[in-house]
Amino acid sequence: MERIKVLRVITRMNIGGPARQAILLSAGLNKNRFLSLLVSGTLGRNEGDMSYLAQENGIEPLVIPELQREVHIIGDIISFYKLFRLIKKEKPDVVHTHTAKAGTIGRLAARFAGVPVIIHTFHGHIFHSYFSSFKTSLFLLIEKALAKITDDIVVISERQNGEIKRYLNLNGKEKTILIPLGFDLNRFLNDFEKDKSYSLRRELGIPKDAILIGTVGRLTAVKNYRMFLEVAKEIKKRDYGKIIKFLVVGDGELKKELIALSNRLGIQDDIIFTGWRKDIDSLYRALDIVTLTSLNEGTPVSLIEALASAKAVVATDVGGVSEVVENGKSGFVVPLNDINAFSEAVLTLINDEERRKRFGIYGREFVKSRYSKDKLISAIENLYEKELQRKLL
């Protein structure tokens, strides 16, 4: 039997959930049944590069340099033309796109090239908290048009499913399919050697007995790191007889601005900006509490990794957060932009080590059962098979 050829397109291989999923699926589909090709664009400034993970998994992406996150008319036309020619050459049975720009150019190129099955995954969405109201309205019109040429829209959480249906006017239409993310979590689940976390603390100059509170992600506006710094300031106002330090893991266009803000807030001696690091599993082990202050999320990978590492978390109630974090069982979920509620939740965990441990143990078992890579791969394979069979009827 001839293998099903899948051409997967992602805007760029930056650090984050979409790139992880694209790599995992490209490497993990049953090779006796599927042939996978991964196409990627190029990174923006200050973005962490995840191409090393592709190499570790034996994947060599085909790079279209003009395919970039920012809107660039000439570059976008060139990337469309190159992708169209590649699709005509490879003749894939399925084109599956990830992230907004790749979803736009990839789906259009696939449609013009006559690809039988076109699928797009919304890892998050840009329908609020990213751009101006004008840009957001424009992108929404584009996505509504693209939905009409898409066979299946994959969403990654129940809440996101409702939002996508509402924004794209898809209520009552069998267009979206819920497939939760999946990961290879072994590095977080199976290695709890304390000496690694202690050595990392020594490297960063953090006392062994300090309470270490961290956040992981791109330093961009939608991640709302200003709130994290305000929470840090609020916590430092109170003297509990404990050493409390804060860690920001990641990089991005707001790094200088956030460092300047930490100075203005007077917390510069208590906060460390690490940049991107590959030893993320050791970083999670070194932390006591992991936080997320985002304005908008799909399914937050940092929280899944934190829970897999048996860490208690505190996060804002956006996107699929409440489907990852069970409030009062694996962490606390608090209202968006509520600095006082967020600070109180973090302080509760600072002062209750037993609760931190209990939350961590519960969260680890939850994500291990829900976000396995095998479940994701099986669901995606079944989706491809189903759609191709439907087209042959």
Task: Give the C-alpha separation, 133 to 342, whole Å.
Answer: 28
Which range is least confidently modeled, 32-36, 148-152, 192-196, 311-315?
192-196
Question: What distances in angstroms separate CA 229 from CA 47, 185, 253, 343, 381, one per listed residue?
Answer: 21, 29, 16, 11, 43
- pTM of the entire predicted model: 0.83
Torsion, Cα 26 30 32 35, to 10 degrees, reads -20
Q: Answer yes or no: is pLDDT of 208 > 90.
A: no
Task: Give the C-alpha separation, 312 to 323, whole Å.
Answer: 15
Provide the pLDDT for residue 49: 84
Provide the pLDDT for residue 294: 94
User: Mind giving me the DSSP string for 49-61?
Assistant: B-HHHHHHTT--P
Residue 128, classed as helix, strand or coil, is coil
Q: Answer yes or no: is pLDDT of 196 > 70.
A: no
Order across the sheet with 312-316: list the strands. Answer: 271-275, 244-249, 211-216, 289-292, 312-316, 331-334
User: At 15, is the pLDDT very low, low, confident or very high (cuts 50, 70, 90)?
Assistant: confident
What does pLDDT average to over the chain?
91
289 contacts 265 by C-beta, under 8 angstroms:
no
Q: Per the CATH hierarchy, to which homologous superfamily does domain 186-370 belong?
A: Glycogen Phosphorylase B; (3.40.50.2000)
User: At 339, is the pLDDT very low, low, confident or very high (cuts 50, 70, 90)?
Assistant: very high
Task: Give the C-alpha separation, 142 to 156, whole Å.
Answer: 21
Per-residue pLDDT, averaged over 247-274, amounts to 95
User: Mind giving me the DSSP string for 308-326?
Assistant: HTT-EEEEES-TTHHHHS-
60 contacts 52 by C-beta, under 8 angstroms:
no
pLDDT in tens, 154-191: 998 888 888 889 888 887 678 899 999 998 898 898 75
Residue range(s) in the chain whose domain bears CATH number 3.40.50.2000: 4-182+372-392, 186-370
CATH topology of domain 4-182+372-392: Rossmann fold (3.40.50)
User: Mind giving me the DSSP string for 169-193?
Assistant: T-TTSTTEEE----B--HHHHS---
293 contacts 254 by C-beta, under 8 angstroms:
no
Provide the pLDDT for residue 4: 96
